[in-house]
Structure 1
Amino acid sequence: MQYFFQVSIDAIALGSLYALVALAIGLVFGVMRLINFAQADYITIGAYSLVAPSTAAVPALMFGALHWVPMIFMVVLTVTALALLTERLAFRPLRNTDTTTLLISSFAVSYFLQSLVLMLHGGRPKTVSIGEGLTSAVQVFGLRIPGIQLLTMTVAISLLVALVFFLKKTSMGIQLRAASENFDMARLLGVPANLVISIAFGISGILGGTISLLFVIQTGSLDVRMGLMPAVYAFFATVIGGIGSLPGAVLGGYIVGVISVFLQAYLPEDVRPFRDAVVFSIVIAILLVRPQGLFVTGGAKERV
């Protein structure tokens, strides 16, 4: 039983990360009907902003050499600025085109950012050490919980609570919710389209920068494709939760994280290398039962 609870803690921690990535993807999709595959590269850029451009195996620290408060601020600011810049240059001029064109633009932005990282840092994985004290475990009711997992769960809950407050209690948050439900109607009622979309991208950047820091502390390594699998899992999470639904994206992130960790813990050893295939098979089974996802937004009902 103790092993089950230990695995549950690991599952909730991983689910918290997926929930944050899924929320970032869901916010942008809600207002633009765009799956922004560059979200994976926002995470990667945030992680690489910790080190100076170098092709050395052990790079010199850049933001990572700062005190933790300015380091967090600079990483999150970098990714947020990047998200706003890509929205302004790559997506806003194409907003009135069809969704296929926007999707192609998203792929183009993603490959451009990957190439930028390769040009500045090379393609070899690198190691970086920040937050060493968070790798040690603490005892809670007989369970050994690494500090990074406690931090991940705390940060995820804090960001989710802050975002809920923003969406429900502020004027701009209410406008963002309205736009995610029915963007055309929201525009007719006076919601500023450019501002709302910029805010959605800005929040996705804040979440991307936060996720970058949590991943680097947890893994201690940098790789040009480090954001790819979290984004893929998060995309499946948004589909499970009901694409366009923010509560659904969060719930889907936790569902995918829990399934992934429990499969890793309980599958036979010779099957564990195929865990991802099993996870995606379960996702397909869920969608066969409920193809519209767990939550259905007003906009989704109209499209159906």
Structure 2
Amino acid sequence: MLIQQIVNGLALGMGYALIAVGYSLVFGILRLVNFSHGAIYAFGAEISMVLIGLNFGAVPGIIISMIATGILGVLINKAALEPLRKKKSMPIASLITTIGISNIVTNLLIVFLGSEKRNFPQLFNYGSVQLGAISISSTQIMMCVVSLSLMSVLVFIVYKTKIGLAMRASEQNSKAANLMGVNVNFVISFTFFLAGVSATISGALVGGYYQIVYPNMGFMAGLKAFAAAVLGGIGSLPGALLGGLIVGISESMAATFLGSTYRDSIAFIILIIVLIVRPNGLLGRKGITKV
């Protein structure tokens, strides 16, 4: 039973890791916690469900949803966050703005699609693999494969491409990067686009895993993913992956051995303990300020 729950937790943790990546990408560039990311995750899952229901097919529907959700992320940045940066407002203003945007996106989903829970088609229905007493479904296997593949693509973009170099330069010193010819506003928009894409893939995977989606699905998932990002070291892509896996496994263990009542709180209990011992997260690093 212990190994079975670890397997279940790994699959669930991969979904949290993909949401946590969005937090880490935006925080790395802007030093901003984007609390609208949970609503963006729900938006991606809902649009995927609508397109698949319109007979676009699973893969084309999810790809179109990825583009649409990425564009939503860009619009949020352009319409709400960029004006605040230009006015050099306090960081707390941007933080509160993202909370407001989260409520706006969620309520728009409720207005246009309704508040009820709807069935999401199972994306991978190829049976299961039996290893002794352990059963691993094709959905769990594909969640891990797709999540690791996307994580590899994101790491490649950030560390091996020109736009990734611009992202890392903007992260270290946006003013210096701008003086060196880097279009920082474009880099920020591209980062929001990537965050939206990863959130959509996570929404489709988790929606297919539980076979259900609804407008408020991003609230608790977003909080858990934020806990995962901070746990691993917010701003670090490997940290987001590690934090997501820890949260997923711990949640699965708590639901099995402590009861479902504790499954939502266990992530935050672990987060508090880790931050007391290691405030920068497991893979985080201290910021160095030159004076």
Q: Same fold judged by TM-score > 0.5?
A: yes
Give the corresponding residue for 2:16: 18
Give the corresponding residue for 1:121: 113
Deviations along 1:75-118, one digit per CA (max 9) or x if unpaired, are 11121111111111111111132211111110121111111111
AA partner of residue 115 (structure 2): G
Deviations along 1:174-203, one digit per CA (max 9) or x if unpaired, are 221232234344334332211110111010
Contact 2:17-2:245 within 8 A present in 1 as well? yes
2:129 counterpart SS class: strand
Q: Which runs of 5+ in 2 are unaligned?
A: none
Alignment of structure 1 residues 61-72 onto 2, 5 Å: 65-72=55-62
Give the corresponding residue for 1:191: 182
Change in Cα spacing, 1:278 to 1:45, as seen in structure 2 (3 Å) is closer
Pairwise CA distance, 1:62 = 5.4
For 2:149 and 2:39, the matched residues in 1 are separated by 24
The RMSD of aligned alpha carbons is 2.1
Give the corresponding residue for 1:108: 100
AA partner of residue 138 (structure 2): G
* Equivalenced residues, count: 288
Give the corresponding residue for 2:229: 238
1:302 counterpart SS class: coil
AA partner of residue 120 (structure 1): F
Give the corresponding residue for 1:56: none
Pairwise CA distance, 1:128 = 3.3
The answer to whether 1:210 aligns with 2:201 is yes
Q: TM-score, normalised by structure 2?
A: 0.91
Alignment of structure 1 residues 44-59 onto 2, 5 Å: 44-51=42-49
Pairwise CA distance, 1:255 = 1.7
1:49 counterpart SS class: helix
For 1:6 and 1:90, the matched residues in 2 are separated by 44
Contact 2:25-2:235 within 8 A present in 1 as well? yes
The answer to whether 1:86 aligns with 2:84 is no
Give the corresponding residue for 1:276: 264
For 1:195 and 1:255, the matched residues in 2 are separated by 33
The answer to whether 1:249 aligns with 2:240 is yes
1:139 counterpart SS class: strand
Among 207, 210, 222, which residue is 1:219 paired with?
Answer: 210
Among 156, 161, 174, which residue is 1:170 paired with?
Answer: 161
For 2:113 and 2:169, the matched residues in 1 are separated by 41
Contact 2:24-2:235 within 8 A present in 1 as well? yes
Q: TM-score, normalised by structure 1?
A: 0.87
Q: Which runs of 5+ in 1 are unaligned?
A: 53-60
Pairwise CA distance, 1:129 = 2.7
Pairwise CA distance, 1:64 = 5.2
Identity %: 33
Contact 1:138-1:147 within 8 A present in 2 as well? yes
Give the corresponding residue for 2:284: 296
Contact 2:45-2:204 within 8 A present in 1 as well? yes
Contact 1:181-1:297 within 8 A present in 2 as well? no
